Structure 1
Amino acid sequence: MTRRTVLRAVGVPLGVAALVAGVGAAAGLWGADPEPPPAVATVSWEGVLTAPTTAPTPADPTPEAPAPAPEPSAPAFDLTRHSTTDPTSPWVVVNKQHPVPAEHVPPDLVDVAPGVQLRADVAPDLAAMVEAAAPAGARLGVLSGYRSYRDQAATRAAIEARRGFEHAERYSARPGFSEHQTGLAVDLGSGTQPGCDLQSCFAQTAEGAWLAEHAWEFGFVVRYTEANTEVTGYAPEGWHLRWVGRDLAAYLHGAGVGSLEEAFGVPGGPVYAGG
């Protein structure tokens, strides 16, 4: 028996029967439900179209912020910019293993005090340093600068005669092995305690203390200290300064490097070349 026959048998008019039969088929009232295609509108009993429902689209994930670019590192200080063996170089290393030729005379000596000469590049920084020290109560005097090979021989002989060979070996270079011959080294005195000039007590004067803290700002290093004696081969001399230029002096100070030998990897020590 068909669905139309059943509806007619129960007294349903044919027009309504057709509608009910169609809706029943669509609603699955008579047998297995056909599988509707997704998102297709259906008809309610009132004949109103029902809007299809779809699953909501998931929100896009929040994009991660890009990692910040690394800051560029500062370039390494170039320790090969100047020679450490050329006696005219501002970075020449002179010690008991590395002498200066006996005939060497700096080509650009200028007067910095009565009877005292230094290389022309050194003079402005020395003047600036002496001027800067005065307001702090450090009255710096310039005692000696450039010495020729012959001058150094006379200086060494006088110290040896007065204090003996062993003392001279610790405090005074043999001729040809002195930084003073380069015109880059200067001995400074104390205006507040002149009795400590060229003496170990200079380190305790106002001038010695100021130089230990500030000399690097003007391109100088206190060349011989308690900490570097084994490397340089000399006893501490707070009055003996060596000009190397402001850039290298700032690098040595910032890096905590205690001597030119350590900075450049140059041998030193208390023994002279050749014995």
Structure 2
Amino acid sequence: MLAAGCAPAEEKPVNEPETEQSTPSEKPAVEEETGPVLDASYFNELKEVDGVQVIQNPENMMVLVNKEFALPSDYTPPDLVRPNVQFSFGDQDIEKSYMRKEAAAALETLFKGAEEDGLFLFAVSGYRSYDRQEEILAAGAAASSEEEALKSIAPPGMSEHQSGLAMDISSESNGFELNQSFEATEEGKWLKDHAHEYGFILRYPKGMEDVTQYIYEPWHFRYIGKEAAAMIHEKGWTLEDYFNEMKPAE
């Protein structure tokens, strides 16, 4: 099965901006009598375009991207950098080796944390452009059918990879593959248990397919910041559940 994170190596380099590394920003949720409240800036601002709900604030670090809410077709994160981590494809400077600055810094810390516990992670696929997502979906549809492909491949604009906040991760023990066997590896187990400590969530958990509208992907991790990630991990939520529970601060 072609997984959402899989992509051939023939990709264009992304120019790294000459900017200083940012410090992760945290605006904690506040517990009020009516329930947990989150700064309104973290909620999607939407505009309907040709029947699609298009996100107008895509640089929001907690942007909710799924089959209901799409990123603009011309959106490219302005602060893409290449994290200093091991990649499954080595030192190739290609599109999928990039992430947004804050997420990249957190990924570096995550990989170091795993290494301190004797485990070695490998980044496989990060940022992906709208056009690249179109190519991947077309290839998946040609291999089976579009209906089958859409179970594991996001439509263009509806992939978290375009946000620059997600990274597919694997290990040498799993042959650097992106598949559900990764959950049984020591690296996959470690990520499931510890990724939230670094601000990442397992974005498409097992048993939550009806909520996320995607198959279980034990390799796909999304950066949202430590506080939100800790809450989601503790409560066993998806990102969709999180925003259903949170209320925007007035």
Q: Does 1:230 align with 2:210?
A: yes
Q: Does 1:109 align with 2:109?
A: no
* 1:1-275 mapped onto 2 (5 Å cutoff): 75-76=30-31, 78-85=37-44, 86-112=57-83, 114-115=93-94, 116-194=97-175, 197-254=177-234, 256-265=235-244
What residue ranges of structure 1 are gaps of 5+ in the alignment?
Answer: 1-73, 267-275
Deviations 1:29-57 (A, max 9, x none): xxxxxxxxxxxxxxxxxxxxxxxxxxxxx
1:166–1:205 distance in 2 versus 1, CA, 3 Å: farther
Larger RCO of the pair (alpha carbons < 8 Å, separation 6+): 2
Q: Distance in 2 between matches of 1:180 and 1:220?
A: 14
Structure 1 residue 81, shift from structure 2 partner: 4.8
Segments of 4+ moved more than 4 angstroms: none
Letter in 2 for 1:200: Q
Residue 228 of structure 2: SS of its match in structure 1?
A: helix
Q: 1:257, 1:263 within 8 Å by CA — same for their partners in 2?
A: no
Larger radius of gyration: 1
Q: Distance in 2 between matches of 1:82 and 1:205?
A: 38
Deviations 1:38-79 (A, max 9, x none): xxxxxxxxxxxxxxxxxxxxxxxxxxxxxxxxxxxx951542
- How many aligned positions are there? 191
Q: 1:82, 1:91 within 8 Å by CA — same for their partners in 2?
A: no
My pick for the range that moved more, 137-146 or 100-109, is 137-146
Q: 1:202, 1:208 within 8 Å by CA — same for their partners in 2?
A: yes
Q: TM-score, structure 1 length as denominator?
A: 0.65
Q: TM-score, structure 2 length as denominator?
A: 0.71
Residue 121 of structure 1: SS of its match in structure 2?
A: helix
Structure 1 residue 102, shift from structure 2 partner: 0.3
Q: Distance in 1 between matches of 2:172 and 2:118?
A: 9
Q: Distance in 2 between matches of 1:157 and 1:96?
A: 17
Letter in 2 for 1:205: T
Q: 2:103, 2:223 within 8 Å by CA — same for their partners in 1?
A: yes
Q: 2:30, 2:38 within 8 Å by CA — same for their partners in 1?
A: no
Q: Distance in 2 between matches of 1:204 and 1:247?
A: 27
Letter in 2 for 1:239: W
Q: Distance in 2 between matches of 1:169 and 1:136?
A: 36
- Cα RMSD between the aligned structures? 1.9
Structure 1 residue 257, shift from structure 2 partner: 4.1
1:159–1:206 distance in 2 versus 1, CA, 3 Å: farther
